[in-house]
Structure 1
Amino acid sequence: MSTDLSPDLSQAIRTALLTGDKRAKVKATRALVRNWRRGELATGFSAEMPDHPAWPEGLEVLSPGQMPKRGKGGSAKNRLALWHSLAHIEFVAIDLALDIVGRFGGEMGKDFVADFLGVAADEAMHFAIIERHLASMGAQYGDLPVHAGLWQAAQETAHDVGARLAVVPMVLEARGLDVTPATLERVKAQGDSRGAAILQRILDDEIRHVAAGARHFAAFCRENGKTAEIHWKSLVKRHFRGVLKPPFNDSARLAAGLPREFYAGIA
């Protein structure tokens, strides 16, 4: 009797999550998404997801409250701090997208798996192009301290796919829709056309990412007999540690399937 010892999707995801080297994590993520799309990686969920992914050796991780304040001016120091912060957001976003597939893909089905593997591939690409932009400034990811707030949201919601969808794509990623346009204009005003193009690409992709979260959250609520708006507000109140702050990019949020009725009342 022969035994198939080839890894399944969850094992490949676990390996990528536990890869700390930044370039190796990007490479592992792209490879597993490509292999799954080609049918070379079985859709199986035999492996448990780690409580925390591996991050680059030597990365200084602080609590959100310990992080130095980032200036908004156009000095080299402020520009570096901005792009380093964006690199960290995108790096952790790779782990968030991989984890939601590995942790909840078995219960949510193939469309969910396909959508969030696509998100993981996008986030890996975003990180890679930001890293190249940092390199043009003579810097790299890991030069400045970072905080673990994004991954704390994953730990808060590790037990419930509804809570994960409500908080990560529908709050944290949706916040990116609000703040990125102003950042893009500031970067453009500094004469950084390449940086502005990167931010525009990320903004366009993030609308699709938030839309995927909203779509699967709505499906989850239908299947469990819940009203999406009411359940979302309940989960955000229970599991999101921050506050929803205006101004909101209502048009981008609406394009992503997040009507104002969802969030305006609890902002």
Structure 2
Amino acid sequence: MSDLSQAIRAALLTGDKRGKVKATRALVRAWRRGELESGWSVAMPDRPRWPGGLQVLPPAQMPKRGRGGSERGRIALWHSLAHIEFVAIDLALDMVGRFGAQMDEAFTADFLAVAADEAMHFSLIDRHLATMGASYGDLPVHDGLWQSAEATAHDVFARLAVVPMVLEARGLDVTPAMIARVEAQGDSRGGKILARILDDEIAHVSAGARHFAALCAARGMEPEIYWKKLVRAHFSGTIRPPFNDSARVRCGLSRDAYTALA
């Protein structure tokens, strides 16, 4: 029987988009059934593999999406969302594979569930792209999300502070307006996909905030103060309003903390 770290490493190093989704779903299912040992025998790769031929650019060099209501603009929007969800699979898997050995089983269960959700989100979006005659990999993407993983690879506190509590929390802020926009364009299916993703992201951010708070409590640290310190040190982007305060507070995020960094 292989252990969980081996299965996670194999999924991270699967570049084919359908292969990564399949490997992620399979390892989560196997772990839940007790078919994988909760072992940590191998290290995680510095970078996951992505589809061959995918053009990865620095964020500043990404082309403009085009007008939002145009077909080109719609494809660019959904392609960018596909990339976010594809990288989110790797972020969740790496969270478990890199830090699971020092955390409890609830941490492993929570972030494997996140990985399974992200795989489902990616599949929904890629299928939606197909209805527009497009596919993930057709357009350039940027490396900003994985750069945050690299910047926090040394510390589970930093990873939790930045990935679920900043990056995923940003999704809570922008998705409601995105739902309204795509529905106004007559894309009811797209609106339903985004609504499902928003519901799931609330659980993901909640998991990050919960485990961050538990770690802080175990080490006698004040969560709000330490979170702000970590974000200032390890997140190169900006935290800006408008904020979805109701969703953020529901997830256990402190309004005083995130508005202080805006």
TM-score, normalised to structure 1, is 0.97
What residue ranges of structure 1 are gaps of 5+ in the alignment?
A: 1-5
2:56, 2:140 within 8 Å by CA — same for their partners in 1?
Answer: yes
Does residue 51 of structure 2 align to residue 56 of structure 1? Answer: yes
In the TM superposition, what are the counterparts of 1:1-267 in structure 2 within 5 Å?
Answer: 6-267=1-262
CA distance in 1, matches of 2:118, 2:96: 14
- Secondary structure of the residue that 2:220 maps to in structure 1? coil
Q: State the distance in 1 between where 2:128 and 2:65 align.
A: 18
* C-alpha distance in structure 2 between counterparts of 1:64 and 1:94, whole Å: 20
Amino acid paired to 1:195: G
CA RMSD of aligned residues (A): 0.6
What amino acid sits opposite 2:191 in the alignment? A
Q: CA deviation at 1:70?
A: 2.2
Distance (whole Å) between structure 2 residues aligned to residue 16 and residue 88 of structure 1: 17
The one-letter code of the counterpart of 1:265 is A
One-letter amino acid matched to 1:141: Y
Give the residue type in structure 2 aligned to 1:127. F
Does structure 2 retain, via aligned residues, the 8 Å contact 1:187–1:193?
Answer: yes
Q: CA deviation at 1:237?
A: 0.2
Tell me the distance in 2 between the aligned counterparts of 1:15 and 1:47.
10
What is aligned with 1:3?
none
Asked whether the 8 Å contact 1:250–1:259 carries over to 2, the reply is no
How many percent of aligned residue pairs carry the same amino acid? 73
When structure 1 is superposed on structure 2, of 254-263 and 89-98 the one drifting more is: 254-263
1:135 deviation in Å? 0.5
